[in-house]
């Protein structure tokens, strides 16, 4: 390879997997992430192990984040986006804009004094998740009182290492790379778009991601409304998938719903769990056996609720069609979990325009042909993970590694052609 620099855009699990594969092959990798920390959505997922491993791969994410953050061949550029790209395979010129962090990651000792004195509600400066890289406090400019015209500087004055810096500006830099891998991930479907399902209106209606994050923070779950253990829980599948606006299956929802249900039953065997579904997607190694394990202890109802209302006693009443019985039914629950799907990330169209790559009809990044799920219409630019199509963690890792292997291959071929080999 003549130019061994590769740009990876996005540091979710597929981007991290791509970066590690490239770095271990000798490439120098720029790992660009628009958020303040590396990891994407998968870094907030909980371990779903019971007495045995649930094969959710959440633990793998943390290991790979740590490895990427300390790898000498990988340079992390957080709070950064791609502004412009020119050139061709083997010689791309990329302009990167890096927004200020306002907290110097080298000086921050994560003491928490800044959060204690912050008067904003919610707090404008706070720690990232426990395994975050880089691990320094995050100042949310949108929440900070300074963005609202206040001259507050309590966090800056309270920081013992002078890590808080307000007078910093965005930085621009130009990189020269041989190839680009796009691994920008996905957005979680906004359940508020399904107004009849009550998300955001009733406290005991959560999304699957909400529940994941509670288990990650606390290790157990209690009802948001009263702090009690839930005794009767419903999971509603295909929220934001397989409907008029999202005609595709999100691939991951049945898996995470069943694994979260299994974790709940393991912690509280007396809790009743019902899963409402259209069709159960049990593809993937070992998942059919996982379903067999729980099909007797978890109630499965084929039929998706169309309306959820809260009763005067605080219970949640679901109205649904039970397809097996051919009639409309009602049932009540303490907690409802909406299994929200995967949507194309906001900003996907803008990045596609900058890079010159195509989008599919569903809004994900498209590939050159059906025989390759990594190669785009631009030679030297590849896609990895859920930005190309919905994928779970193991599939995203494999897809990221495949994209890296493709990039290594085409760069070697391009270098050989230039040398006349």
CATH classification of the domain holding 282: 3.50.50.60
Residues 362, 319 share a domain:
no
Q: In degrees, to the nearest 5, what angle opens at C-alpha 181 toward C-alphas 65 and 387?
A: 80
How far CA 334 is from CA of 224, 233, 295, 302, 305, in Å, comes to: 10, 6, 21, 20, 15
Q: How confident is the model at residue 156 (pLDDT cuts 50, 70, 90)?
A: very high
User: 321 and 368: one domain?
Assistant: no
Residue 135 located in a structural domain: no
Dihedral of the alpha carbons of 236, 240, 244, 246, in degrees to the nearest 10 = -140
334 and 209 in one domain?
Answer: yes
Six token digits for residue 212: 């994941």
116 part of a folded domain: no
> For strand 171-177 and strand 91-98, is the pairing parallel, antiparallel, or unpaired?
antiparallel
Calculate what percentage of the chain has a pLDDT beyond 90: 87
Q: Whose CA is closest to 37, among 115, 103, 113?
A: 103
Domain boundary among 341, 372, 388: 341
Domain range spanning residue 266? 189-341
Taking the C-alpha atoms of residue 282 and residue 290, their distance in angstroms, rounded to an integer, is 9
> Taking the CB of residue 408, how many other CB atoms lie within 10 A of it?
20
pLDDT score of 413 more than 80: yes
The answer to whether residue 13 is domain-embedded is yes
| 319 and 272 part of one domain | yes
Total count of residues recorded for the chain: 421
Residue 114 belongs to a domain: no
CB atoms inside a 10 Å sphere around CB 418: 11
Residues 12 and 76 grouped into a single domain? yes
Among 322, 341, 360, residue at a domain's last position:
341
Q: Is residue 117 in a domain?
A: no
19-23 contacts at long range (C-beta below 8 A, 24 or more positions apart): 19/68, 19/71, 19/74, 19/404, 20/64, 20/67, 20/68, 20/71, 20/74, 21/400, 21/401, 21/404, 21/405, 22/73, 22/181, 22/404, 22/407, 22/408, 23/68, 23/71, 23/73, 23/74
Give the contacts of 40 (CB within 8 A, at least 6 positions apart). Answer: 10, 11, 12, 13, 15, 185
**Whole-angstrom distance, CA of residue 38 vs CA of residue 135:** 10
Same domain, 414 and 351: yes
Between CA 41 and CA 31 the distance in angstroms is 16
Which pLDDT band holds residue 245 (cuts at 50, 70, 90)?
Answer: confident
Q: What is the arithmetic mean of pLDDT over 362-385?
A: 96
User: Rounded mean pLDDT of 158-174?
Assistant: 97
Output the CA torsion 317→323→328→332 (10° steps).
-20
- Say yes or no: 312 and 327 in one domain: yes
| Residue 224 and residue 84 share a domain | no
In a shared domain, residues 210 and 234: yes
Tokens linked to 121? 């509600």
Say whether both 42 and 181 belong to one domain. yes
Across 89-114, average pLDDT: 96
319, 341, 363: which is the final residue of a domain? 341
Q: Is residue 421 over pLDDT 90?
A: no
Predicted confidence at residue 418, as pLDDT, reads: 72
Q: Identify whether 250 is part of a domain.
A: yes
Helix (H) or strand (E) holding 322: strand 316-322
Residues 6+ apart with CB under 8 A from 336: 197, 198, 204, 205, 206, 233, 234, 235, 236, 308, 316, 318
Contact 4, 25 (CB under 8 A): no
| Model pLDDT for residues 332-355, shown as the tens digit of each residue | 999 999 999 999 999 999 999 999
Residue 254 inside a domain? The answer is yes
Contact 64, 42 (CB under 8 A): no
What's the total number of domains in the chain? 2
Residue 188 scores a pLDDT above 70: yes
- pLDDT, one tens digit per residue, over 315-333 is 999 999 999 888 999 999 9
118 within a domain of the structure (yes/no): no
Q: Are residues 259 and 297 in the same domain?
A: yes
Dump the DSSP string for 150-202: ----HHHHH-TT--B-SS---EEEEEEESEEEE---EEE--GGGSGGG-TTTS
Whole-number mean pLDDT of the chain?
Answer: 94
Instruction: Give the mean model confidence (pLDDT) for residues 7-12.
Output: 98
Per the confidence metrics, is the pTM higher than 0.85? yes
CB distance 94 to 85 below 8 Å: yes
Examine the domain organization and report whether 262 and 278 are in the same domain. Answer: yes
């Amino acid at each position: 390879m003549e130019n061994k620099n590769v740009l990876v855009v996005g540091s979710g699990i597929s981007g991290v997997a791509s970066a590690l594969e490239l770095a271990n092959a000798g490439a120098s990798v720029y790992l660009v992430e628009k958020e303040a920390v590396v990891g994407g959505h998968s870094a907030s997922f909980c371990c779903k192990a019971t007495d045995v491993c649930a094969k959710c791969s959440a633990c793998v994410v943390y290991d790979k984040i740590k490895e990427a953050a300390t790898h000498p061949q990988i340079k992390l550029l957080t709070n950064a986006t791609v502004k412009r790209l020119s050139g061709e395979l083997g010689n791309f010129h990329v302009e990167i804009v890096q927004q200020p962090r306002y907290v110097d990651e080298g000086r921050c000792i994560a003491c928490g004094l800044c959060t204690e004195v912050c008067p904003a509600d919610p707090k404008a400066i706070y720690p990232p998740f426990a395994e975050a890289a880089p691990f320094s406090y995050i100042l949310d400019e949108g929440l900070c009182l300074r963005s609202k015209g206040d001259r507050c500087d309590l966090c800056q004055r309270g920081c013992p290492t002078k890590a808080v810096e307000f007078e910093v500006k965005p930085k621009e830099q130009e990189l020269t790379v041989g190839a680009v891998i796009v691994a920008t991930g996905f957005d979680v479907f906004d359940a508020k778009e399904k107004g009849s399902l009550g998300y955001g209106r009733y406290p005991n209606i959560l999304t699957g991601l909400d529940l994941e994050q509670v288990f990650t923070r606390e290790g157990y779950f209690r009802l948001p409304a009263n702090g009690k253990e839930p005794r009767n829980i419903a999971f509603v599948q295909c929220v934001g998938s397989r409907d008029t606006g999202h005609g595709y299956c999100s691939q991951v929802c049945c898996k995470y719903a069943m694994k979260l249900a299994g974790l709940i039953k393991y912690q509280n065997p007396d809790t009743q769990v019902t899963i409402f579904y259209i069709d159960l997607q049990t593809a993937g190694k070992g998942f059919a056996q996982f379903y067999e394990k729980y099909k007797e202890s978890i109630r499965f109802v084929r039929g998706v609720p169309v309306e959820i209302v809260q009763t005067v006693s605080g219970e949640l009443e679901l109205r649904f069609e039970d397809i097996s019985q051919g009639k409309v039914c009602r049932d009540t629950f303490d907690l409802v979990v909406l299994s929200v799907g995967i949507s194309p990330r906001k900003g996907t169209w803008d990045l596609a325009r900058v890079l010159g790559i195509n989008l599919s009809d569903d809004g994900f990044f498209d590939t050159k042909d059906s025989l390759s799920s990594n190669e785009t219409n631009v030679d030297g630019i590849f896609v990895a993970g859920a930005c190309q199509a919905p994928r779970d963690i193991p599939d995203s890792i494999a897809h990221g590694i495949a994209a890296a292997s493709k990039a290594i291959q085409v760069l070697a071929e391009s270098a050989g052609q230039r040398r006349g080999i």
